[in-house]
Amino acid sequence: MLAFDFFGSTEGGLFDINATLPLMAIQVVALTYILNSLFFKPVGNVVEKREKFVSNNIMDAKNKLSEVEKLEADLLSQLQSARSEAQKIVSEAENESDKLYKEALELANNEANASKEKARLEIENQTSSARDQLFKQADDLSELIVNRLILEK
Amino acid sequence: MFLNSLPTNFAALEVGQHLYWQIGNIRLHGQVFLTSWILLGALLVFISLGTKKMENDPKGLQNLLEFLWDYIRDLARTQIGEKVYRDWMPFIGTLFLFVFVSNWGGALIPWRLIKLPSGELGAPTADINTTIALALLVSLSYFYAGLSNKGWRYFEYYVHPTPIMLPFKILEDFTKPLSLSFRLFGNILADELVVGVLVFLVPLVLPIPVMFLGLFTSAIQALIFATLAAYYIGEAVEEHH
């Protein structure tokens, strides 16, 4: 047995190149086609379909999310404007009521002042007329006293 | 040779013995075809089982096959590039699967138990014919890829970046298949020989770590072969600016 006779013999040897080479090449090419139709294409289809599905779903979700965010922002701005409007209305109403209150107060004050004045004038008039009357009566009385004194003499 | 002075049953290793098939004028290494048919048959059965009922939610074998497919796609895409990797993915994948199945099949299955009249069964990739066939297919592929993608402009690659590179690039066309085929052949044969010698010398326990190392080498060699093939194709279709 020539166990390690690599090159020496024409039969066999490690580097014995023969028709095995082209046949093996053909076999590998055939295997490529077989594996392509049996393995690479079907698995690729399934995997790529799923990848597309997943990426579509992700995109869908992203779109929805952005829509939701837009709506949220919309609602927020609406809420903000409603709030500020309410604030405005409240402050307007406050101003209005303030104004009305002031007006009413002034009116009442004026009225009170006027009636006070009127009453004062009346009191003054009555006082003066009463004083006049009193003076007159005093005069009359004094005249009467004088007359009586004179007459008794 | 001095090795012949070793005990005669050392020849049990049967290096360089072949089971010859004579068909007309041509002679074939029968053991290479026998093992490759068994292994490829197993591979095809495995793949048919896995792809029989494809579902959107992968289970069991389909999951494994999809992982394999993804692995091969990543390999092809990173080496060849986004543009044409699809065309070459089946070829790269077939190279990877063929080499991997051959290497592991040769290492894992106890072929020695099957007695042949001459030679012995083993990894198909431990035969120089197989590895040269694969390497030449790679050479043809990258030439075809370059020419079909860029036409005659493919030959700009030879003077890129300077015409000084021309002889080296031409030399490369010869060294690429040479290195591809001999690397694979040498690694797998060496692994088989080391395991064979160790089993012969110390039949128990000691060969086991070496066997694991052999499995590791086998997987790495399949990856290297496929990656280099993809790299060569990628180099041929790459656009120079």
**B188 to chain A: which residues are within 8 Å by CB?**
none
Nearest chain A alpha carbon to B65: A43
Check residue B58 and give its pLDDT.
82
Partners of residue B72 on adjacent β-strands: none
Q: Determine contact, residues B211/B170, Cβ cutoff 8 Å.
A: no
Which stretches in chain A have pLDDT values below 50? 1-10
Q: Which of B23-32, B102-111, B132-141 has the highest mean pLDDT?
A: B132-141
Give kind and range of the element (H or E) at residue A96.
helix A41-152
String of DSSP letters for B211-234:
HHHHHHHHHHHHHHHHHHHHHHHH
Q: Do B65 and A43 touch (CB under 8 A)?
A: yes
**Band of residue B12 on the pLDDT scale cut at 50, 70, 90:** low
Looking at residue B241, its pLDDT comes to: 67
On chain A, the residues whose CB falls within 8 A of the CB of B42 are none
Interface contact B132-A21, CB threshold 8 A: yes
Q: Is the pLDDT of residue B56 over 50?
A: yes
Q: Of B46, B98, B50, give the one whose Cα is nearest residue B72.
A: B98
Structure confidence at residue A6 (pLDDT): 44
Cβ separation B93–A3 shorter than 8 A: no
Burial of A80 (0-12, 13-18, 19+ CB in 10 A): exposed
Res. B35: pLDDT tops 70: yes
One-letter amino acid for residue B27 of the chain: R
Looking at residue B52, its pLDDT comes to 87
Q: Does A56 touch chain B (CB under 8 A)?
A: no
pTM comes to 0.76
**B172-227: per-residue pLDDT in tens?**
999 999 999 999 999 999 998 888 888 888 888 888 898 899 999 999 999 999 99
CA distance B194 to B189: 8
What confidence tier does B13 reach under pLDDT thresholds 50, 70, 90? low
Chain B, 73 to 92: residues with Cβ < 8 Å from chain A are: 73, 89-91
Residue B138 has pLDDT above 80, yes or no: yes
Between the CA of residue A118 and those of A109, A114, A130, what are the distances in Å?
14, 6, 18
CB contacts of B76 in chain A (<8 Å) are none
Q: What is the pLDDT confidence band of residue B238, given thresholds at 50, 70 and 90?
A: confident
Put simply, whether A51 touches B (Cβ < 8 Å) is no
Using a 10 angstrom Cβ sphere, with 0-12 exposed, 13-18 middle and 19 or more buried, the burial of residue B53 is exposed
- Chain A nearest-CA distance from B160, in A, is 31
Mutation to test the A interface, candidates B47, B92, B97, B100, most A Cβ within 10 Å:
B47
Using the Cβ of B28 and the Cβ atoms of chain A, whether some distance falls under 8 Å is answered with yes
Per-residue confidence (pLDDT) for residue B11, from 0 to 100: 38
pLDDT of residue B2: 45
Does residue A42 have a cis bond before it (omega within 30 degrees)?
A: no
In the structure, what pLDDT confidence band is assigned to residue B14 with cuts at 50, 70 and 90? Answer: low
B161 pLDDT band, cuts 50/70/90, is: confident
**Residue A40: its pLDDT value, please?**
93
Give me chain B's average pLDDT, please.
Answer: 88
- Does the beta carbon of B69 lie under 8 angstroms from any beta carbon of chain A? yes
**Which of A6, A23, A38 lies closest to B47 in CB terms?**
A38
Does B40 have pLDDT greater than 50?
A: yes
Query: Does A138 reach chain B within 8 Å, measured CB to CB?
Result: no
